[in-house]
Structure 1
């Protein structure tokens, strides 16, 4: 994926494009304008710095290479990256469709698509799909398609880590600023990056479930927070969706995910799991193969995939679910537990040590 597309995806999803990505020293990493007339004010106020990428409708664009001495890259686009039902394009070789979540199950996949939660109905559809995956192990097919991306992940259970006005900004036609087209107002054109960062922090302080900003214009906060609190595993679900999507792109399909509708080791299904956090590695399997998939800041993409033979996979699952080798010894032999634990700890993906998380509904 080109740097331009990575910036656009991190702006849409609210997640840094690669693990360990650092924020720019000045301004937001990615800025999307709805009105080209706002570009001069954006540059003058410091909202876009030398390392920023700014998407401007109808602009001829500048060089896409950014750096401390080059000034921000300005990328022209046509259409809209914000409105569900619309489409944005960059030149003649990149198109991004924008769909509301609720209609996506009934639409054909024709290319890169950003799925937005645009109202209560979309949010309910998202929760229904998450509940079905959690209890039955069935993930919505459209959501795990390699060209799909779910927008505003921090507000849907992924948590606010990495997000904020130093990662992404949307500047509406009226000059209001937020991290997302559906986000609560953080300021007005002319406000400094420091003001926006302070407002983002203030709006997220004390809320039951972060992030309260990214979907604040389209979802009542009480309902959103209550739904996330009832499902403390949503971050894990979003990680599983990402993992399934990534593996489908590699030609690996029809995979089950441990903790969603069952376990590879059936006896573990009755055990309260320690593997409910979104940053805990995933165990996936089908009749033919087993895989461990996890985030690792030391790798270039932030994601690593390992294929395991079945006994090693069962040992890995026991470590993930129980959180320690002594507890896992009831479900897997010590030799495999020790070997698997030692290997994955050595490569930066420890499987043991997670604290149990309430299962929720």
Structure 2
């Protein structure tokens, strides 16, 4: 294990650069590359030649597109150093005690099975693994875990160059080739491999295993979104939130209920507090208990007629008043409109 002198572990939320590199999620349009050795820097810069590309590696600091990111992101217990401090690197199924920020990645098929087991438990009981809601945790390779976004590795928007010059989209990703290959050849390899599914974990988990797991769990993207939101809330000092669809709902499901559409807002509650968290937002919107239940119903109804019937039954009101409740909710919270299966309001 590499140890970096005169540097301290992050105690809080990891810096944005670490999050970008490990998750593959960022607002830029360029490539994210991690180079284990400066010997491959020139070749990596030929691939990452756009102004908005970022190249992480054992550099003394940040200069332009070069960002300090030194350490093995694929080795259990290693440390990953940036200009501001260091993070521990842990495999998903690790149970060792940890202090400070940690990069948590799927590094084996056992890790992947553990990830799915935690997801299934949260879906069935509403109990999210505490380490996953810790704001100092960075869960890696979200595209391969099912966040619903396009895989950056499929278009060579992510790449990891090992000390020996092997190129993969991530340390645990599919083998794309050598750093001696030109960008076109590596891009073609990534595109061909991605035809079988996401490539960012295929070095340790077979593509068909991931595809089958995601087909059986179409709610994985909402699970990962819920983890992100719970981390934000916990960082702000608030815990104990329930997430609708995970263990319980604000309104009972019936034989007509459907799962929420991808990207639909989350509904959360704790005691007498009810929140609507739109996709991509950094803060929640407050709701009354009745509105929260109506929102849960319309997000899980296949059409307006079904939603009206369920709202009427839940509130114990005639259909006209149920329609009025839906109209008032959509007027006050337009963020819901794009997430309805019937495509709009009543």
Please give the TM-score of this superposition, normalised by the length of structure 2.
Answer: 0.84
**Which of residues 217, 227, 237 in structure 2 aligns to 1:251?**
237
- Superposition pairs of residues 1-361 of structure 1, within 5 angstroms: 5-15=15-25, 17=26, 21-24=27-30, 28=31, 30-43=32-45, 45-57=46-58, 59-63=59-63, 72-91=64-83, 93-103=84-94, 106-161=95-150, 163-164=152-153, 165-205=155-195, 207=196, 210-211=197-198, 213-265=199-251, 267-268=252-253, 271-275=256-260, 277=262, 279-296=263-280, 302-332=281-311, 333-345=322-334, 347=335, 350-353=338-341
Please give the TM-score of this superposition, normalised by the length of structure 1.
Answer: 0.80
Any unmatched runs of 5+ in structure 2? 1-13, 312-321
Pair 1:304–1:186, CA change in 2 (3 A): farther
3-state SS, counterpart of residue 253 of structure 2:
helix
Distance in 1, matches of 2:224 and 2:90, equals 18
Indicate if the aligned counterparts of 2:56 and 2:70 stay in contact, CA closer than 8 A.
no
Distance in 1, matches of 2:76 and 2:255, equals 41
Indicate if the aligned counterparts of 2:261 and 2:339 stay in contact, CA closer than 8 A.
no
Pair 1:158–1:78, CA change in 2 (3 A): closer
Indicate if the aligned counterparts of 2:156 and 2:190 stay in contact, CA closer than 8 A.
no
Partner of 2:11: none
Indicate if the aligned counterparts of 1:281 and 1:349 stay in contact, CA closer than 8 A.
no
3-state SS, counterpart of residue 330 of structure 1:
helix
Pair 1:51–1:340, CA change in 2 (3 A): same
**Higher relative contact order, chain-length normalized (CA < 8 Å, sep 6+):** 1
Q: Deviations over 1:7-55 (max 9, x none)?
A: 331221122x2xxx3413xxx2x21111111112222x23243222222
Indicate if the aligned counterparts of 1:136 and 1:260 stay in contact, CA closer than 8 A.
yes
Indicate if the aligned counterparts of 1:311 and 1:336 stay in contact, CA closer than 8 A.
no
Distance in 2, matches of 1:194 and 1:336, equals 55
